[in-house]
Amino acid sequence: MIILKNLTLSDGSIQDIRIDGGLVVEMGRIIDTGTDCTDLIGLSGFVDPHTHLREPGFEASETVLSGTRAASAGGYSAICAMANTDPVADDSNLVERVYDLGVEAGLCFVQPVGAVTKGLKGLELSSIADMSTSRAKVTMFSDDGMCVHDENLMRQALLEVKKFGGVVAQHAQDPKMTVGAQMNQGAVATELGLTGWPAIAEEQIIARDAQLAQEAGSRLHICHLTTAGGVEVVRWAKSKGIQITAEVTPHHLFLTEELVRTYDPVYKVNPPLRTADDNSALLAGLVDGTIDMLGTDHAPHSGEKKDCEWENAAFGMLGLESAASILHQVLIQSGAGDWKLFEEIISKRPAKLASLDNHGSIKVGAQANITVFNPHERIAVTEMNQSKSNNSPYLGLEFIGRVQHTIYEGQFSMMNQSVRDQ
């Protein structure tokens, strides 16, 4: 049994919470003593709609166990594991395997994401229906890393997931416009002599897919939105009543393409870091609800994939362990939003996206998935290293605010900043 005392919830109320048998059993004033949470913020457990766990296939970079340890350290009680493993998670056996590895690790809920197309090849649909009825109960499908570029295949995928209320999460990147792309297109890419990734390659896929989702009457989710123009397109789509949601990563809110001037591959990510104007548009979109949620796009890479020339380096950066600290800085400390919005962005809306009914709320009778955030403590990013990889663009930086405790299924997966050992 856990009792959290004096916890400040996102609505500003101060409550004690009693957790027993995996559930929240009592809220309000509790006489018994417990874990003191005075001045700490209690939020429904964080949910990441976009994690790369690398297992099976790339265990040198991350495993389900190391990735869920990183998730616990970052306050996540549920994560959605992308399908670009080796083999690709494109049938029911493979998604069940990842699901089982998550259960075995026991630190947070691992919801596998199924591939939209077989082998992420973009040629034919994967076994979407089978995955939805498997033990892993997949409702979100994505070829993340690759764009489902064939418009007819995208339309079929939207119709297929509609049958069970699922969603297609699109990595919006026109492959023909981004051949060999290394960074955001513009003056910095020009000076650095690196092939540009134009904003239009993102925007026109979003526009196309929004129309396809409208016609199909199905759900579309846009992964890692990065451009001001992309925000405009999503805003338009929402105004038309299209069932579209969008996520933004911590790094696209916080970092800009100027960092690429160092040619340090730790800043190499796809979609690429953009401009300060894009960052502002993304934050504005997050505040006005155009962008629904934060997705980390946690992408571990082993050392040799980053300790090399820029063009030879892999795309991607770590995100799970630092996401909440960055969102705190960008949203709360800046005064742009409040804790209610914070909780929507990092927990409630992603839980709804992935149909994770046990996540995204703190209430009596519900499964106890709770994150306790300390908004006062400084954190130097060197301290965060549960991941097997260390390709964090935040190393050496300091933030104010970090996760203190993470509770998953009624147990501490992290207590006092210490992740539970198995």
Partner 1 sequence: MKHLISIRDLTKDSAVALLDSAQRLSQVNQRSVKSLPALRGKTVVNLFYENSTRTRISFEIAAKRLSADVINFDAQSSSASKGESLRDTAQTLEALGAAAIIIRHPMSGAAHALANKGWVSASIINAGDGRHEHPTQALLDALTIRQLKMPGNDLAGIKVLIVGDIEHSRVARSNILLLSLLGATVSVAGPSTLLPEGIEAMGAKVYKSFDEALDEKPDVVMMLRVQLERMQEDDTFSTRDYIANWSLDQRRLGHLNKEAVIMHPGPMNRGLEISNQAANDPRSAVLRQVENGLAARMAVLHRALSGEDAN
Q: Whose CA is closest to 39, among 409, 372, 319, 341?
A: 372
CB of 259 to partner 1, least distance (A): 13
Contact 221, 170 (CB under 8 A): yes
Rounded Cα distance, 203 and 85, in Å: 27
CB of 393 to partner 1, least distance (A): 16
Question: Which tokens belong to 92?
Answer: 């029911």
396 near partner 1, judged by CB under 8 A: no
421 near partner 1, judged by CB under 8 A: no
Rounded Cα distance, 26 and 45, in Å: 17
Contact 225, 235 (CB under 8 A): no
Closer residue to partner 1, CB minimum distance, 133 or 312: 312
Max distance between CA atoms of the chain, in angstroms, equals 66
Which DSSP category does 62 fall into? -
CB of 319 to partner 1, least distance (A): 23
CB of 383 to partner 1, least distance (A): 23
315 near partner 1, judged by CB under 8 A: no
CB of 193 to partner 1, least distance (A): 3
Total binding residues toward partner 1, as defined by CB under 8 A: 22
Rounded Cα distance, 109 and 410, in Å: 12
Point out which span in 47-55, 186-194, 249-257, 355-363 binds partner 1 (CB under 8 A).
Answer: 186-194
Rounded Cα distance, 416 and 406, in Å: 9
310 near partner 1, judged by CB under 8 A: yes
CB of 263 to partner 1, least distance (A): 4
DSSP-derived pairing of the beta strands 23-28 and 46-51: unpaired
Q: Whose CA is closest to 269, among 99, 50, 102?
A: 50
Q: Is the dihedral of CA 174, 179, 183, 189 positive or negative?
A: negative
Query: Of 192-251, which residues contact partner 1 (CB under 8 A)?
Result: 192-194, 196
365 near partner 1, judged by CB under 8 A: no
12 near partner 1, judged by CB under 8 A: no
276 near partner 1, judged by CB under 8 A: no
Residues in contact with 384: Cβ distance below 8 Å, sequence separation at least 6, in sequence order: 73, 74, 321, 322, 392
One of 13, 133, 262, 418 touching partner 1 (CB under 8 A) = 262
307 near partner 1, judged by CB under 8 A: yes
CB of 267 to partner 1, least distance (A): 11
Closer residue to partner 1, CB minimum distance, 102 or 196: 196
Catalytic-role residue among 297, 307, 338, 421: 297
Rounded Cα distance, 378 and 373, in Å: 12
Q: How far is CA 101 from the centre of its chain?
A: 19
188 near partner 1, judged by CB under 8 A: yes
Closer residue to partner 1, CB minimum distance, 267 or 373: 267
Which DSSP category does 317 fall into? B
Closer residue to partner 1, CB minimum distance, 164 or 263: 263
Point out which span in 79-87, 157-165, 258-266, 370-378 binds partner 1 (CB under 8 A).
Answer: 258-266
263 near partner 1, judged by CB under 8 A: yes
Which DSSP category does 366 fall into? S
One of 133, 190, 334, 382 touching partner 1 (CB under 8 A) = 190
185 near partner 1, judged by CB under 8 A: yes
297 as an active site residue: the answer is yes
One of 103, 123, 187, 336 touching partner 1 (CB under 8 A) = 187
Question: Which tokens belong to 117?
Answer: 């197309």
Query: Which residues of the chain form contacts with partner 1 (CB under 8 A)?
Result: 182, 185-194, 196, 262-264, 304, 307-312
* Residues annotated catalytic, as ranges: 297
